[in-house]
Amino acid sequence: PSFLSLCLFQAYDATLLAASYSGPQLDILIDQGRDDQFLSASQLLPDNLIAVCSEKKIPVVFRLQPGYDHSYFFIYSFINEHIKHHAKFLNA
């Protein structure tokens, strides 16, 4: 990857965003498929995000979901819980 593509990617990296976050209190919910091929290839590093959140005192719930991968079915299976989670903070 080029330097430019790495810089652009970093603008959306959750771990880097959490490390530099200084806004209102957050409450993060993460669902991760245990059988996600990107997780097993070490392309996803949720432990890094959890560590930064811990350092910054950002509450995070991490749920490793057995039997799920990185598919749309995984998203479909948990999207309602995430919508409800975010709605609590949007006063919806």
DSSP 23: S
Two tokens, residue 83: 């919508």
DSSP 2: -
pLDDT in tens, the chain (92 residues): 565 555 667 778 899 999 999 988 889 999 999 999 999 999 999 999 999 999 999 999 999 999 999 999 999 999 999 999 999 888 75
| Distance (Å, whole) CA 70 – CA 22 | 30
Contact predicate 70/32, CB 8 Å: no
| Distance (Å, whole) CA 43 – CA 88 | 31
**How far is CA 72 from its chain centroid?**
16
Q: Which of 71, 75, 67 has the alpha carbon at shortest distance from 31?
A: 75
pTM to 2 decimal places: 0.82
